[in-house]
Amino acid sequence: MATSYLVGYGSRYPQRVHHRGPSMESYRNSKGFRGCIQGCNSWCGRQESNPNVLLGALAGVPDNRDQFRDGRENYKQTEACTYNTAPLDITALTQAQLQMKLLFIKRSESQSVPWEISDNNCARYLQNRDHNLQMRASVSE
């Protein structure tokens, strides 16, 4: 299987995400103070997988040569941040909206559905469709 850039998905995903929380030992296990510098000095250079999995985080993508280097110091590819997840979020949201609209149109063709349920575009489509069907019926009579 190819590498998944979504942490925790599949058998191959980034193990060394550049993020302070998963990169360091849990506070529950070691109660000492850990600031950014102490955490980085102690944990960032290690080659082991992160002690905590940042489940669901989206790491960066391959470089311009289609290579991915899984290392905490390689923040350009392994940083979990909003500018990496935003395009995926927008794509998923758009896909969900389109599927809901198509489902609404498909169901409304076989059932009577109140107009208020849909947004204006769906309502206009259904009104025009019903008007056209009525016009065809009156012409054929």
Same domain, 94 and 53: no
- Domain end, chosen from 31, 51, 80, is at 80
Query: What pLDDT, on the 0 to 100 scale, is given for residue 38?
Result: 67
**Structural domains in the chain (count):** 2
Same domain, 11 and 71: yes
Residue type, 130: D
Contacts 24+ apart (CB under 8 A), 79-88: 79/17, 79/18, 79/19, 80/7, 80/17, 80/18, 80/19, 80/54, 84/58, 84/59, 84/60, 85/57, 85/58, 88/58
pTM attached to this predicted model: 0.54
Same domain, 89 and 68: no
Same domain, 50 and 90: no
Query: What pLDDT, on the 0 to 100 scale, is given for residue 60?
Result: 79
- Domain end, chosen from 80, 98, 127, is at 80
Same domain, 28 and 71: yes
Same domain, 102 and 59: no
Same domain, 49 and 99: no
- Which residue range forms the structural domain that includes residue 121? 85-140
Query: What pLDDT, on the 0 to 100 scale, is given for residue 116?
Result: 46
Residues (pLDDT < 70) of the chain are: 1, 27, 33-36, 38-40, 106-133, 135-141
